[in-house]
Structure 1
Amino acid sequence: MNEDERFPQAGPVDDERADALLERELRQAAAVLDPVPEALRQLALDAYALHDLDARIAELTFDSLMDALPVRGVTDAPRMLTFSAGEVTVDVEVTEDGLIGQVLPPRSVHIEVLGGPRTARPVPVDSLGRFTSDTPPAGPFALRLRTGTEVIVTEWLRA
């Protein structure tokens, strides 16, 4: 009996089975030794739920941290942001107390603040497109606007 007969080579089917078995064992070990925190799991589910091929991205066109000229003596100026998606513009002021903004041109829109491990927080919008949120964003955040016919999501930014 030669060496090849004593130690047969594993075929592609055997390799796939071994890989699948190893992957299953590694997943079980990770679930026991290093489980995914529930808040992170929920955040991943929420992020996947945001996956909408029809959503337009509102690009950041102005950020006072980058584009504004500094004003002498002003140390705690609020951060001003402008997002644009086609004809829709969203102006946002980020303060220690929360967000203040306006959608232009004014329209009927539902706005949600996205960010962190929390779920999306709806923000009331008046007939002139003005909105306020009394919860300051902690960490990365974005805005999701829903009109009757489209969904617009701003770029994600760190507060």
Structure 2
Amino acid sequence: MSGPGWESDEVLLRELTEALAEARDLPPEFAEAGRAAYTWRTVDAELMLLTSYDSILDTDLAARARAALTARQLVFDAEGISVQVEVTEAGVAGQVLPTFPGRVVLLTANGPVEDTDLDELGCFLLGPPPPGPVRFRIETDNTTVVTDWVCV
């Protein structure tokens, strides 16, 4: 097989090298479009809202001060799924109901911090969350749900 000017392997390799070098120069608008598309990759994930319970909001001011020194309990609900979380200085313990195989990922604004599998009862344990807002992503074979942001 020979093309115009491809009489030798050296000429063909030089032309291929030049073609690949041109392909490396990605137009900035292509890179921006790729980043924008990646941002929308979880648009189908159902957002779980803190709808049921937050122990901090369920107490008076004095009790809130005491509660800040102990555990904080949160319940997130979405259609057909509930995530119950208890946050202490030692870490995060939680349960996803109904039970099913899956993973829980602790997220910050900078991305994932820690993840673990759900056990047969839907329970999970994570280390202490970093300061600032966090959220939980629950991943199963069929769906992904993400909780609302909460400062712990």
TM-score category of the 2 structures, normalised to the smaller one: 0.5 to 0.7
Q: Structure 1 CA distance, aligned partners of 2:86 and 2:93?
A: 5
Matched AA of 1:109: G
How do residues 1-150 of structure 1 correspond to structure 2 at under 5 angstroms?
49=39, 51-61=41-51, 62-68=53-59, 74=66, 76-117=69-110, 119-150=112-143
> Quick one: distance in 2 between partners of 1:50 and 1:154?
17
Equivalent residue pairs, number: 113
Q: 1:34-85 deviations in whole A, cap 9, x for unaligned?
A: xxxxxxxxxxx7xx647412100011021111124676x9552311000001
Within 1, Cα distance between the matches of 2:125 and 2:138? 14
- Given that 2:88 and 2:128 are in contact with CA atoms closer than 8 Å, whether structure 1 keeps it comes out as no
> Which sections of structure 1, spanning at least 5 residues, go unmatched?
1-44
Cα deviation per residue 1:113-158 (whole Å; 9 max; x = unaligned)? 0014353421232110000112323211000011111110000111
> In 2 relative to 1, CA 121–81 (structure 1 residues): closer, same or farther, beyond 3 Å?
same
Task: Give the Cα separation in 2 of the matches to 1:84 and 1:125.
Answer: 17
SS state of the match for residue 92, structure 1? strand
Q: Decide whether the 8 Å contact of 1:106 with 1:128 is kept in 2.
A: yes
In the superposition, relative to structure 1, how do residues 64 and 147 fare at CA in structure 2: closer, same or farther (>3 Å)?
same
The CA RMSD measured in Å over matched residues stands at 2.4
